[in-house]
Amino acid sequence: MRKLVYLGLGSNLGNRLENLRRAIQELRAAGVAVGRGSSVYESEPVDYTAQPRFLNAVVEAETELMPRQLLQRLQHIERRLGRRRGVRGGPRTIDIDILVFGEHVMHTAALTIPHPRLAERRFVLQPLCELAAGLRHPADRQTVSALLAGLSGGGQVKKVAGSRYLRPDT
């Protein structure tokens, strides 16, 4: 049975826009049915701030994979696209996070769903709101638009490209 998932994409090394586009191509090749994508936003780094600005976006997708299987596929894609894990929160060619996985709520050492900092990050909430403003956070049941409206911080974001720039054929 297919589950609706929302994935957050981020890049701050190399050709950031191309990294996002390649990640979407890789997701499709890995059997993740990517549907709509948000606009692309530029944001300041959070936590570890001594690094370049990020480009961020969110995609809506469907998958028959279970959450841990999806995580393994995402990590494989990240490695294929040159991600090397070093400093926590440090620079990266690509970061792909599971934001929401259907109605799943889980917390393990390897994976927390929904994403544990989803409600704190404007660079995630703004593009997610573009796709699914009425989506309810599976744990606290607030809508994405309410979470975004209630966010006092979360970093500055600026729309830099429309959703059409994430389509691999453009």
From 16, 22, 73, 92, the catalytic residue: 92
From 16, 97, 121, 122, the catalytic residue: 97
Query: 10 CB contacts (<8 Å, ≥6 apart)?
Result: 54, 55, 56, 92, 94, 95, 97, 123
- CB-CB contact of 156 with 125 (8 Å): no
From 95, 122, 164, 169, the catalytic residue: 95
Q: Is 92 a catalytic residue?
A: yes
From 21, 22, 83, 121, the catalytic residue: 83
Q: Is 97 a catalytic residue?
A: yes
- CB-CB contact of 6 with 59 (8 Å): yes
Burial (0-12, 13-18, 19+ Cβ within 10 Å), 25: middle
Q: Is 95 a catalytic residue?
A: yes
Give the orientation angle of helix 16-29 with respect to helix 67-80, to 10 degrees: 130
Q: Is 47 a catalytic residue?
A: no
Annotated catalytic sites, by residue?
A: 83, 92, 95, 97
